Amino acid sequence: MDGISVIVTSTLVLGGLYMLMAAGLTLIWSTLRVFNFGHGAVMMFGAYLTWSLLDAGGLPVAVALLGAVAAMALIGLAYEFLLVSPFIRRPNGDMLVMVATLAATMLLQSGAQLIWGPEIKQLPPFGGARVEVAGAVAQGSQLVTILLAPLLVGLLALVLKRTGIGLTVRALEQNREHAQLLGIAPRRVYVFVVVVAIGLATVAGALLGSMQFISPGMGSDPLLRAFVVLAFGGAGSLAGTIAGAYAIGLLEAVTTYYFGLSWSPVLVFLAMIVIMLVKPEGLLRTKVRSA
C-alpha cells in the first residue's frame, strides 16, 4: 500500500469513530446545552461490557455488542436520572450538569479499574471480510467501522427528520421556551438523547476495542477528537458533524503519515484553535444549516 491508500483507509476509520462519538455529543449539546465530559468514559465502559459478554457469556462479538448497547442504554437512563435531571432546571444548571459529567468520568474509570482489573483486554475483529478499492485496503473491524458508523449516524439523522420524537428533539433545540408552551416535556427528549448518544458511544468503544486495546483511559483521546469535530462542524448540526468527523480523520491521517504520531495531535488542535478564531460558529455551520 502506498501513502495515499493508507491515508484513505485511516481517514474513513477515524472519521467513522469520531462521528459516532461526536453525533451523540452534538445531540446532547443542542438539546441540553451541555458538553458531556463523560462521553469518553461511557465509550470505554461500553467496550469493557462488550468484552465481558463476549468472554464470560461466550457470545459472538456482534451479539455481545448488541447486549452491551442494551445494557449501556440502561446506564444511560441512570445517567440522565442521576446527573442531568437533578441539576438541569436550576439556575446555571448546564454548568452543574457539566461538572456532574466530569465526576461521572472519574467514577466510570475507577469502576472499570475495579471491575475488570489492570490487565489489558482486546476484542476480536468484527468479522474477517477484506475489501480492496484502488489499492486502499480495509478489513475486519476497520471495514465494519467504515460502513456501520455513517449508517448509524445517517439513521439517526433520518429519525430526527422523519419521526415524531425527532420533530420534538429539533423543536426543543430550536426554541426551548416555545417548545414547552406547546406541551413538549423536555425530560422525555433528554432521556431519548442521552440513551441514543450513549448507545452510539458504546458502538464506537467496541469497534475501537477491537482495533486497539481496552483500558480505563481509552476514551479520552476519542473524546478530545470528537470535541474538535464539534468545533469544526459546528455543534448542533448532524450534517456538520459527519463532515467534521471526516475532516478531522483526514487531518489526523495526513499529519500522522507525514509528521508522525506525536505531532499529529498538536497539529489537529492547532487547526481547531485557528478555526475557533476565524469561524467560531463552525466551518460548515451556515452552509449546512440553510440546506
Partner 1 sequence: MSDLLTVENLTAGYGQAKVLRGISLRVGENEAVGLLGPNGHGKTTLLRCVSNLHRATSGTIAFAGRDTRGESPGSLVRRGLVHVPQGSRLFPQLTVEEALRLSASSSGHSSTWRDGIDQVFSVFPKLKERRRQLTGTLSGGERQMASLGMGLMARPTLLILDEPTLGLSPKVKHELSECIVRVRAEVSSVILIDGDMDLVLDLTDRYHVVLHGDVVDSGASDGSRSRDEMMSLFLGGTADGRH
Residue with Cβ nearer partner 1 (113 or 180): 180
CB of 285 to partner 1, least distance (A): 12
Q: Nine-digit cell at 147?
A: 460502513
Nearest residue (CB) to partner 1, 112 versus 238: 238
| 246 half-sphere exposure, CB direction, 13 A CA radius | 13
Q: How far apart are CA 271 and CA 260, in angstroms?
A: 16
> Is residue 130 exposed (0-12), middle (13-18) or buried (19+ Cβ within 10 Å)?
exposed
Rounded to a whole number of angstroms, the minimum distance from the CB of residue 181 to partner 1 is: 5
Q: CA-CA distance, 12 to 252, in Å (whole number)?
A: 11
Q: How far is the CB of 157 from partner 1 (least distance, A)?
A: 13
Which is nearer to partner 1, 9 or 30 (by Cβ)? Answer: 30
Task: For the CB of residue 142, give the shortest distance to partner 1 in the complex, in Å.
Answer: 35
Nearer to partner 1, 118 or 164 (CB): 164
Q: Which amino acid is at 193?
A: V
Binding site for partner 1 (CB under 8 A): 164, 167-168, 170-171, 174-175, 177-185, 289
Please state the separation of Cα 189 from the chain's center in Å: 18
Query: Least distance (Å) from partner 1 to the CB of residue 250?
Result: 28
The nearer residue to partner 1, 186 or 265, going by C-beta atoms, is 186
Alpha carbon distance 252, 45 (integer Å): 25
CB atoms within 10 A of CB 290: 6
Q: Where are the alpha helices (DSSP H) in the chain?
A: 3-32, 39-55, 61-79, 93-116, 141-162, 164-174, 176-181, 186-211, 220-233, 238-259, 264-278, 285-290
CB of 177 to partner 1, least distance (A): 7
Q: How far is the CB of 83 from partner 1 (least distance, A)?
A: 21
Q: Closer CB to partner 1, residue 102 or residue 184?
A: 184
Cβ-based nearer residue to partner 1, 59 or 184: 184
Q: Calculate helix-pair angle for 186-211, 39-55, nearest 10 degrees.
A: 60
Give the residue with the Cβ less far from partner 1, 184 or 224.
184
Distance CA 282, CA 115 (A): 40
Contact 12, 148 (CB under 8 A): no
User: What is the C-alpha end-to-end distance of the chain, expressed in Å?
Assistant: 38
Q: Closest approach of Cβ 189 to partner 1, in Å?
A: 11
